[in-house]
Amino acid sequence: MPILAVEGVTKRFGPNEVLKNVTLSLDAQEIRAICGENGAGKSTLVKIFTGVHTTDDGAVLVDGKPTEIASPQRAQELGIALVAQELSLAPALSVLDNIWLGNREVPLFHRRKVLRERARAALEKVGLGDLSLDTPVATLSIGRRQLVELARMLTRDARVFILDEPTATLSDVEIERIFNALRALKAEGKSIIYITHRLGEVFEVCDTVSVLRNGELVGTRRTAEIDRAHLMQMMLGRSMGEMYPRWESKPGRPMLTVKNLHVPPVVQNFNLVADQGNVVCLAGQVGSGAIEVLRALAGLVPDATGEVSVMERPVRLRSVSKAQAAKVQFISEDRAGEGVFLRLHVGQNLVATRLADHSQLGILARQGLRATAEKLAAAAGVDRARLHSMADELSGGNQQKLAFGRAIGDDEPGVLLMNEPTRGVDVGARAEIYRLIRQFCDRGYCLVMASSDIEEVLGMADVIVSMYRGRQIATYRRGEADVHRVLADITHPVAAA
């Protein structure tokens, strides 16, 4: 008997039907992936399971009985636990305190030994047996915090664990830990709903996959019975062709030269020559220093040192405006935090770095600005009709195109620095961004990107530089590397010291 199911569920927000007649069911000991592009209805479905939204039509069944999950508290009582993207742990408290935080079994004053033992047992199940219960959560990595959260749900006797893109900000090693924890939970008889953008993970850890598109269920399949291309076609409603563009890789003339770059406290003695028309990928996990290298080159790290030159002209580090003057533009992975002005218009976002070119004595030439915004929108594939929309009304993929449009000029090509170019971008928009990257490289740009997604690195790079804990491990030209070598490099490099 299915442990959790929805039958004919429909959910409307005003005139929009975000879920249309969705029926699916989850068995005990099943790991179910739910895939779909942004806006397909995944999050709404999760919110129905966890009592945040109620259904407009159809029924939710728990243990085969129609049940109304009217509130998150009720969901918890029913054993449905959400492991959210934004973690709900209190960083200043210890692991033990966090595990029992908000649990009604805990007496007011007494800290009983049995609580420690049960917390210890839960941690062991999720693979954190080595962790001291008194460690403050703030000192743990994001991946470990997620595991602590899983342990916390275990102590609450959750039966269904819902994970909403748990790996978006994790490195590969940490992802593997999460997977192991999920397999252990499954062996315990628990069920898991796993929401993800990364198709590789579906096949690696999930038994079955349900695909949503525009609020409708496209279908549910066993992962053993389908392949990647099939899954992608289900998500997009059309065949994808190729995710990555095809091109002929050839060296160009050196555009960006980096010597002896130090970015305290992580990166030491980083050297790089990036050619015009090439995509150089710094492959590394969180903590490898890849992201920090790009931030330093963008002028955003105040204590970085080293010699950098663009087209043989030296560029001063530690100043964003000096970097921009040398035609070095940075596209942040943290779009909401530092990439895009969410509450400004799309047009204003596009010209944000170009105000100086369109003003005299501090007075703006507004017509020139508008024309430039239109030109940049066209170049980056942003719909012109949306120039007057607020940036926060765009999807993740369109925001990334916006950030891209801001970084490119309409004159001579320069160096683009991109951290995690497709984080939080759905599959369809992802291919478009890859095409844009290639297109601008063909126009003579040089693109350096940091990425923890090995598939993306192999698909896009002319040159791959693998990094581990602030050191460069190896450099490959296109075709020289494969998944296993790069993965080995960035996780536990052999004889690299």
Partner 1 sequence: MSDVSLRTRFRLGGARARHLVLAVRIVAGSAIALFALSTPGFTSPLSINALLNAISFIGCVAVGMTFITLTGNIMSLCLGATVSASALIFLASLSFGILPAFLIAILFGVVITAAQGLLVGFFRANPILVSIAGLSLLIGGAALATGGQRVYPGGEGLQVFKGRVAGIPVEALYFFATVVIGQFILSWTRIGRVMVMVGSNPRAAYAAGVGPAMAVTVAYVIAGACSAVSGVLLAARYGSGDMELGTGYDYTAIAAVLVGGTAIQGGSGSVVRTLIGVTVIAIIEVVLLLRGFSQQLQYLITGVIVLAVIMLHTIGERR
Q: Cis peptide before 265, with omega less than 30 degrees from 0?
A: yes
Q: Which stretch binds partner 1 (CB under 8 A): 210-218, 270-278, 352-360, 408-416?
A: 352-360
Residue 423 burial (CB < 10 Å; 0-12/13-18/19+)? middle
Does residue number 323 form part of the binding site for partner 1 (CB under 8 A)? Answer: yes
* Least separation in angstroms between CB 9 and partner 1: 15
For partner 1, the binding residue among 107, 241, 337, 479 (CB under 8 A) is 337
User: Can residue 88 be called a binding residue for partner 1 (CB under 8 A)?
Assistant: no
Place of tokens 């993306």: 456
Please identify, using beta-carbon distances, which residue of 331 and 474 lies nearer to partner 1.
Answer: 331
300 counts as binding partner 1 under rule CB under 8 A:
yes
Single residue of 76, 196, 332, 466 touching partner 1 by CB under 8 A: 332
Distance, CA of 197 to CA of 174 (rounded, Å): 17
Asked if 71 is part of the footprint of partner 1 (rule: CB under 8 A), the reply reads yes
Tell me the H-state helices in 408-466: 427-442, 454-460
- Enumerate the β-bridge partners of residue 211: 35, 219
The reply to whether 339 sits near partner 1 by the rule CB under 8 A is yes
CA distance 119 to 441: 53
Under rule CB under 8 A, residue 355 binds partner 1:
yes
Shortest reach from residue 320's CB to partner 1, in Å: 3
- A 10 A CB-CB count for 495 gives 4
Taking alpha carbons only, the member of 274, 288, 275, 396 closest to residue 334 is: 396
Closer residue to partner 1 (CB): 46 or 457:
46
Q: Could you tell me the smallest distance in angstroms from the CB atom of residue 374 to partner 1?
A: 18
Q: Are 364 and 371 in contact (CB under 8 A)?
A: no
The CA-to-CA distance between both ends of the chain, in Å, stands at 55
Interaction residues for partner 1, span 11-40 (CB under 8 A): 13-14
Closest residue by Cα to residue 162 from 28, 32, 62:
32
Spatial separation of the C-alpha atoms in residues 253 and 216, rounded to whole Å: 50
Q: How many residues bind partner 1 (CB under 8 A)?
A: 43
For the CA atoms of the chain, what is the radius of gyration? 24
Residue 307 phi/psi, 5-degree rounding, is: -105, 125
Amino acid 470 reads G
- Shortest approach of partner 1 to residue 220 CB, angstroms? 27
Give the largest Cα separation in the chain, rounded.
Answer: 74
DSSP string, 326-355: TTEEEE-S-IIIII--TTSBHHHHHTGGGG
d(C-alpha 264, C-alpha 289), whole Å = 10
Stretch that binds partner 1, among 97-105, 221-229, 234-242, 336-344 (CB under 8 A): 336-344
Contact pick of 8, 56, 66, 70 for partner 1 (by CB under 8 A): 70
When the beta carbons of 169 and 353 are compared against partner 1, the nearer one is: 353
Contacts 24+ apart (CB under 8 A), 371-375: 372/410, 373/346, 373/347, 373/348, 374/347, 375/410
Q: Which of 299, 306, 414, 424 binds partner 1 (CB under 8 A)?
A: 299
Residue closer to partner 1 by CB (options 47, 144) is 47
Q: What is the Cα–Cα distance from 169 to 2, expressed in whole angstroms?
A: 32
Among 2, 38, 61, 72, binds partner 1 (CB under 8 A): 72
The interface with partner 1 within residues 378-407 (CB under 8 A) comprises: 389-390, 392-393, 406
Among 362, 367, 411, 479, binds partner 1 (CB under 8 A): 362
| CA distance linking residue 275 with residue 319, whole number of Å | 23
Pick between residue 92 and residue 352 the one whose CB is nearest to partner 1.
Answer: 352
- Residue 338 binds partner 1 (CB under 8 A): yes
Which DSSP symbol is given to 41? S
Residue whose CB is less far from partner 1, 3 or 376:
376
Select 223 or 329, whichever has its Cβ closest to partner 1.
Answer: 329
**Least distance between partner 1 and beta carbon 432 (Å):** 23
Q: Based on the shown chain and the rule CB under 8 A, indicate whether residue 227 belongs to the binding site for partner 1.
A: no
363 binds partner 1 (CB under 8 A): yes
The distance of closest approach from Cβ of residue 165 to partner 1 in the complex, given in angstroms and rounded to an integer, is: 17
Using the rule CB under 8 A, is 330 a contact of partner 1? yes
Binding mask 168-207 for partner 1 (x = CB under 8 A): ----------------------------------------
- Spatial CB neighbours of 15, under 8 Å, sequence gap ≥ 6: none
By CB under 8 A, residue 366 contacts partner 1 = yes
421 near partner 1 (CB under 8 A): no
Interacting residues with partner 1 between 126 and 155 (CB under 8 A): none
The set of residues, in sequence order, having a beta carbon less than 8 Å from that of 325 and lying 6+ positions away, is none
Segment near partner 1 (CB under 8 A); pick from 188-196, 296-304, 431-439, 462-470: 296-304
How many Å apart are CA 85 and CA 73, to the nearest integer?
Answer: 19
Rounded-to-integer distance, Cα 195 and Cα 199, Å? 10
Instruction: Kindly list the residues in this chain that would bind partner 1 in the complex (CB under 8 A).
Output: 13-14, 47, 51-54, 70-72, 298-300, 319-321, 323-324, 330, 332, 337-344, 348, 352-353, 355-356, 359, 362-364, 366, 389-390, 392-393, 406
